[in-house]
Amino acid sequence: MKKKIAILVFLCFCFLGFAPAVFADEAPQKVMIITVDDAVELGLSSYLERNIATAEEKGADLLILELDTPGGRVDAAQDMKRILYGCDIETVALVKDQALSAGAYIAMCCDKIAMMPGSTLGDAEMLVNGERADEKYLGPWREEFAAIAEDKGRNPEIAKAFVDRDIAIEGIVEEGKLLTLTPQKAVELGMADVIVDSREELLSWLNADEAELFYSEMNGAEKITRFITHPNVAPVLLSVGILCLVFELLAPGIGILAVAGILLLALYFGGHMIAGMASWFALLLFLAGIILCILEILIPGFGIFAVGGIGCIVGSIFLTTPDMATALKYLAIVLLIMVVAAPILLKLFSKSKVFDRLLVRERLTTEEGYVAGRKEHADYIGRYGTAATTLRPAGTVELDDGTRIDVVTAGEFIEKGEEVQVVRKDGTWLIVEKRRTQE
């Protein structure tokens, strides 16, 4: 009996001796702090993925996402959910100021949620062009919030109320209002775990006071990508880039505007390609559209090149946006900027040589010898004259006896002042070519 008691006492001492070491192993030894602020963009998801990979390489035991965001792109938030769910490290969201909309979604994807005094969580209604999305989009978004809440041990009905204003929960939110929670209310309802005054207090609550801390870093490419893919910046870059190319085409100079336009468009497509939102095909399609539009200006195409070019440009914009609503928003902004800039273009470049090619400036009057198309025009076949206007392909020719007639070329582009010959009659049109022989 005494021997059994001695063994039991020995085991107790062993347990007491090893217990601190065992519990110490359970406390996080390495913690990665990742800052998630401003609008949620696809550039942010690549930044998160890279830093989580760094945390895994360094053997981090805990990830703390410090959130201060009003929301942003749904597709970017869903990509961040994929990254967080694919991570084997425990995750904690620290809401420093606000985690709204897509920001609330990201917070809900974390294993624990801590909130600082004065912060807010919720208000995640999906908007399309500033308006509430219809059920086709709202329904899946609402149920996704509920599924994440269930997975993390939180109330799915409250999570739905973040998204859908038609949901009423007695004592929590009325019908017609979106749910946004304060720290006290969030903890009370189980949607957050703790209220802390600082990161240090959160580390203490997590038993990680002595942990080694690592901090996330955003490289230059990620900063540029986040800026370029911002929904208010991307369409402006696209519009100004196109305008610069148009200005350079209408008033050829030393190429500064061309370089600026190419640079802006390179930033737009390059940023979207880095963020995974566009492929080389989208860029090539856009370039094809620009080339076709230039061909329409320089070579008579009867609108075929212009239609094809505009179609390619519109298609490339659709390929760089996540959905039709965003693409239509981008196109609307591009068109608005173009409409505003059109009067400026006309005023500044109305005397350029390219505009001479596009417009017939002369007034064709009978006093100047102009004669409208008639059957007698068959008598003009074989006659020589000079292009009184640029023929693109239609215009006016002054015959060697001073008579002015309206003509069209067979497709070639003839500058004003060049000598031509009437070669045949096609319907009511007289067809001319550049003069190749002398009488």
Q: How far apart are CA 237 and CA 229, in angstroms?
A: 10
Q: How far apart are CA 116 and CA 184, in angstroms?
A: 10
| CB-CB neighbours of 217 under 10 Å | 12
- Mean pLDDT, residues 162-175 taken together: 93
Domains and their CATH numbers in the chain = 20-218 (3.90.226.10), 222-357 (no CATH), 366-434 (2.40.50.140)
pLDDT at position 118 over 50: yes
Range of 55-59, 109-113, 171-175, 281-285 with top mean pLDDT: 109-113
For residue 235, is the peptide bond before it cis, meaning its omega torsion is within 30 degrees of 0?
no
pLDDT value of position 13: 43
Range of 45-59, 156-170, 318-332, 422-436 with top mean pLDDT: 156-170
pLDDT in tens, 8-60: 544 444 444 444 433 344 667 899 999 998 888 777 888 898 899 999 999 99
Return all residues near 16 (Cβ < 8 A) that are at least 6 apart.
Answer: none
Percent of the chain with pLDDT over 70: 76
pLDDT at position 399 over 50: yes
What mean pLDDT value characterizes the chain? Answer: 79
pLDDT at position 384 over 80: yes
- Mean pLDDT, residues 340-365 taken together: 56
| Phi, psi dihedral angles at 352 (to 5 degrees) | -75, 160
pLDDT at position 1 over 60: no
pLDDT value of position 350: 54
pLDDT in tens, 221-271: 666 777 777 777 877 888 888 777 777 666 655 567 777 877 887 777 777
- Mean pLDDT, residues 371-383 taken together: 66
pLDDT value of position 174: 92
- Mean pLDDT, residues 313-330 taken together: 73
pLDDT in tens, 177-220: 999 999 999 999 999 999 999 999 999 999 998 899 988 877 66
| Phi, psi dihedral angles at 394 (to 5 degrees) | -90, 155
Global pTM value? 0.58
- Mean pLDDT, residues 80-109 taken together: 94
Helix (H), strand (E), coil (C) string for the chain: CHHHHHHHHHHHHHHHHHHHHHHHHHCCCEEEEEEEECCECHHHHHHHHHHHHHHHHCCCCEEEEEEEECCECHHHHHHHHHHHHCCCCEEEEEEEEEEECHHHHHHHCCCEEEECCCCEEECCCCEECCEECCHHHHHHHHHHHHHHHHHCCCCHHHHHHHHCCCCCECCCECCCCCCEECHHHHHHCCCCCEECCCHHHHHHHCCCCCCEEEECCCCHHHHHHHHHCCCCCHHHHHHHHHHHHHHHHHCCCCCHHHHHHHHHHHHHHHHHHHCCCCCHHHHHHHHHHHHHHHHHHHCCCCCHHHHHHHHHHHHHHHHCCCCHHHHHHHHHHHHHHHHHHHHHHHHHHCCCHHHHHHCCCCCCCHHHCEECCCHHHHHHCCCEEEECCCECCEEEEEECCCCEEEEEECCCCECCCCEEEEEEEECCEEEEEECCCCC
Residue 381 backbone class (left: φ over 0; alpha: ψ -120 to 50; beta: rest): beta
Retrieve residue 170's tokens. Answer: 């007695």
| 255-269 burial code (b ≥16 CB/10 A, e <16) | eebbebbbebbebbb
pLDDT in tens, 122-151: 999 987 766 788 888 889 999 999 999 999
More confident residue, 426 or 381: 381
pLDDT value of position 26: 60
More confident residue, 436 or 74: 74
Pairing verdict, β 429-434 and 370-371: unpaired
pLDDT at position 104 over 80: yes
pLDDT at position 391 over 70: yes
Q: How far apart are CA 31 and CA 231, in angstroms?
A: 33
pLDDT value of position 338: 74
